Amino acid sequence: SGLTTLDPGYKNTGATKSAITFLDGEKGILKHRGYSIEELADKSSFIEVSYLLIYGNLPTQEELDNFKSAITKHTLVHEDIKKILEGFPSTAHPMGVLSSLVTSQTAFYPESLDPNRSIEEVNLSIIRIIAKMPTFAAWAYKNQVGHPVVYPDNSLDYCSNFLKMMFALPSEDYKVDPIVAKALDTLLILHADHEQNCSTSTVRIVGSSQASLYASLSAGINALWGPLHGGANQAVIEMLEAIKADGGDADKYLEKAKDKNDPFRLMGFGHRVYKNFDPRARIIKKAANDVLEKLGVNDPVLNIAKRLEEKALTDEYFIQRSLYPNVDFYSGIIYRALGIPTEMFTVMFALGRLPGWIAQWKEMRENNEPIGRPRQVYIGEKDRSYVDINKR
């Protein structure tokens, strides 16, 4: 009652103060804890960026070594996870499997449900989930293709271990290609955090009820799944494939995207905050060219993507609405070149976004933020008297 201001989609409502990620959508700037995304993508590693986001500063060598060895210790998951996995049909989308496995951690570690846990215990949950996410993600895929799961290899770095769990087969001696591992590490850095987006706001709002870290992260994974958010990377490749199958005429699809009577949108274009180039898209476009060249992959959809981008950037409709390619536009092309199947693209996004969600959840808890509870403007019926069912 008395509420008159409305902001559907929270287009102009700040819900929190945060010291993690700075984003200037007009200028196309993205910084984590003050460091530019360009510099982090060029010089850092995903594990180091995770530490930076969660703990606020770049680690010293000793801090980094300790962080890495703690993560390595927890990569194995409970054997009963396999039973949960087996319960899913092979048609299950890996995002649904991933969010379920993350929620299942509340059962294996019930102490995570205690809202008054010490900071040391919360840190243990953080380490555990960073360590186990690649295992869950790779196993979700193995379950889908009906292959036996591969156990973590703690002699490998974070990305190489994930790639081995994804692709190794019992009959083969699998060697991780360092070009692939490096490219994946860069992609994860580029997804690591993005302030109060849909999934991150979900993590914070679920966590604000003092739900466990695992339950909050699982909610974030589900929010990320939708095609307007992280699911866009899968939708982009499906769109590019559809254009290719339809003769490769990018211009025709650009016209469809502009037609207000056609529900088709140019996937991987537009952003709530960036009204200028998404800085991540710039880095990813260059990485897509580099990776495809290094791996000797010739993917015809890359040319369709480039044509779409070129046309859109000079088209009145897209210029007027400040629609530029976003992070999802070229990422799928790289994932595909790395051998990652399309249905796993959004899972890759979740792997990358994990440290951001954790950092935001931790900040929200440390700031003792109140429970998230938006209001509404009621527009329904006012007063009605109950009518007996035989009189309706």
Which residues lie near ligand CMC (CB under 6 A)? Answer: 9, 197, 228-230, 232, 257, 265-272, 321, 323, 326-328
What is the smallest separation between the CB atom of 91 and ligand CMC, expressed in angstroms?
24
Looking at beta carbons only, is 132 or 271 nearer to ligand CMC? Answer: 271
- For residues 129 and 267, which CB has a smaller minimum distance to ligand CMC in the complex? 267
Query: In the complex, which residue's CB is closest to ligand CMC?
Result: 270
Beta bridge partners of 2: none
Q: How many CB atoms lie within 10 A of CB 290?
A: 14
Least Å from the CB of residue 261 to ligand CMC? 12
Least spacing, CB of residue 312 vs ligand CMC, in Å: 9
* 138 residue type, one letter: A
Nearest CB to ligand CMC, comparing residues 32 and 271: 271
Q: In the bound complex, what is the minimum distance in angstroms from residue 35's beta carbon to ligand CMC?
A: 21
Output 152 or 268, the one with its CB closest to ligand CMC. 268
* Residue 271 designated active-site: yes
Residue type, 156: L
Question: Which one of the listed residues 185, 193, 278, 328 is annotated catalytic?
Answer: 328
**Four-point Cα dihedral 150, 184, 29, 205, nearest 10:** -10
Q: How far apart are the first and last CA of the chain?
A: 31
Q: Which is nearer to ligand CMC, 321 or 375 (CB)?
A: 321
Cβ atoms of 51 and 191 within 8 Å: the answer is no
The smaller minimum CB distance to ligand CMC, of residues 177 and 195, is found at 195
Tell me whether residue 173 is one of the annotated catalytic residues: no
Give the closest residue to 312 by CA, choosing from 329, 290, 295: 329
Least Å distance, CB 355 to ligand CMC, is 16
Distance of closest approach, residue 28 Cβ to ligand CMC, in angstroms: 13
Contact 196, 223 (CB under 8 A): no
194, 229, 271, 278: the catalytic one is: 271
Strand 21-24 with 35-36, pairing? unpaired
Report the alpha-carbon distance of residue 137 to residue 210 in Å, rounded: 26
Give me the helices (H) in 146-249, please. Answer: 158-167, 178-190, 198-207, 213-225, 232-245
Question: Residue with structure tokens 């000079």?
Answer: 314
DSSP letters of 223-275? HHHSTTTTTHHHHHHHHHHHHHHTTS-HHHHHHHHH-TTS----TTB--SS-S
Q: Which residue has the tokens 């555990």?
A: 128
Q: Single out the residue of 352, 52, 39, 363 nearest to residue 196, CA to CA.
A: 363
**Which residues are part of the catalytic machinery?**
271, 328
